[in-house]
Amino acid sequence: MKKLPVGILGATGMVGQNYIALLNNHPWFEVSYAAASPRSAGQPYEQAIDGRWHLRETYAPSVGKLTVRDAGDIAAAAAEAKAGNLAFVFSALEMDKDKIIALEDAYAAAGIPVISNASANRWTEDVPMLIAEVNPRHADIIPQQKKRRGWEHGFIAVKPNCSIQSYMTPIWALIQKDYEIKRMIVNTMQAVSGAGYPGVPSLDVLDNIVPYIGGEEEKSEREPLKILGTIEGGIIKNAAAPLISAHCNRVPVSNGHTATVSLEFGAKKPSLEEIKQIWRSFRALPQELALPMAPEVPIIVREEPNRPQPAKDRDVHKAMAVTVGRLRPCNVFDVRFVGLSHNTVRGAAGGGILNAELLKAKGYLG
């Protein structure tokens, strides 16, 4: 199979770097287009990124040779798309919300699908916010989105915030088995890589934690409701439950967000053993389709008293699995547990790539 040529918007930022690193040797996609700010445009990527590449893994030599384009130059991208050299773009743009919306719209209008990591379009009502294992059916709003916007080929799909990924798949696994979750209180302990680079100053997290991350609690409380929502009349209507209260903290961990979760079920309450059984056996569309980036097992259940831990569990199954542990009764609600996922892979670039794989498998890309 010929690989699809893909572009990265925001290719010099940290999320862009993560996309580029994770797409090394991807079986379906090949980075053929790198766009960034005008300041970087015109230089070979290896020159534009010199001294600013912050990952352990390096970029493919072929990416190093790409001439960086101005992300604002839609015409350039459209020309490449027309020539068959650009099938879609991953948006890792870091700028004002309004500018991102305008740019992502412009790419889509120019016929280039946008798989976005940015938060700008998460609340656009006809834009699906996808976790491939949780709400793949939301992809089916894309034809309506295209029609509504008058876009022939382009569209926009986004992914949610990294802070919710440690508990979203586990609670979805229960919900789809008809266990209603009414209320939940969540405490996240989030890795510094979530803030990009330079991101969190070392003076803030050496021998310290910061019990605050701007905007994170609101996202953690609201985004699940859209993800669990239903398509009605061409838009996504939020689910009414669960009601979520999130406490978000920054901790001195490089990668891996950990969440402690207390759950209150509706009238029908699963036993601890049922929950584990549901989690262990949970498989979803990405697993059925054997998508390249999909974790073989989406939810890993650990029985040791002291797991999951970011250093030990973040990298399991290509850093795409969610690891849960410490499932036990909650003194106040029904049950409680600890969830963990890798924030820059599962929670960002890896999740975006998996979404693109899903959309390709569903026929929306390429």
CB 342 within 8 A of CB 320: yes
Count other C-beta atoms under 10 Å from residue 194's C-beta.
25
Piece of the chain touching a second copy by CB under 8 A; list 27-35, 135-143, 155-163, 327-335:
327-335
330 is known as an active-site residue: no
248 is known as an active-site residue: no
By CB under 8 A, is residue 205 in contact with a second copy?
yes
Catalytic residue among 26, 138, 248, 257: 257
CB 71 within 8 A of CB 13: no
Nearest distance in Å: CB 113, a second copy:
31
By CB under 8 A, is residue 124 in contact with a second copy?
no
Pairwise CA distance, residues 17 & 225, whole Å:
30
Pairwise CA distance, residues 158 & 120, whole Å:
9
Per-residue contact string for residues 230-249; x = within reach of a second copy by CB under 8 A: -------------xxxxx-x
By CB under 8 A, is residue 60 in contact with a second copy?
no
Of 174, 136, 345, which is closest to residue 256 (Cα–Cα)?
345
Per-residue contact string for residues 137-176; x = within reach of a second copy by CB under 8 A: ----------------------------------------
259: helix, coil or strand? strand
By CB under 8 A, is residue 215 in contact with a second copy?
no
Please state, in angstroms and as integers, the Cα–Cα distance from residue 274 to each residue in 159, 185, 262, 271, 304, following that order.
Answer: 29, 21, 17, 5, 18
Nearest distance in Å: CB 24, a second copy:
15
194: left (phi over 0), alpha (psi -120 to 50) or beta: alpha
Among 189, 227, 356, 359, binds a second copy (CB under 8 A): 189
Considering only residues 253-282, where is the footprint of a second copy by CB under 8 A?
Answer: 253-254, 258, 260, 262
* Catalytic positions: 162, 257
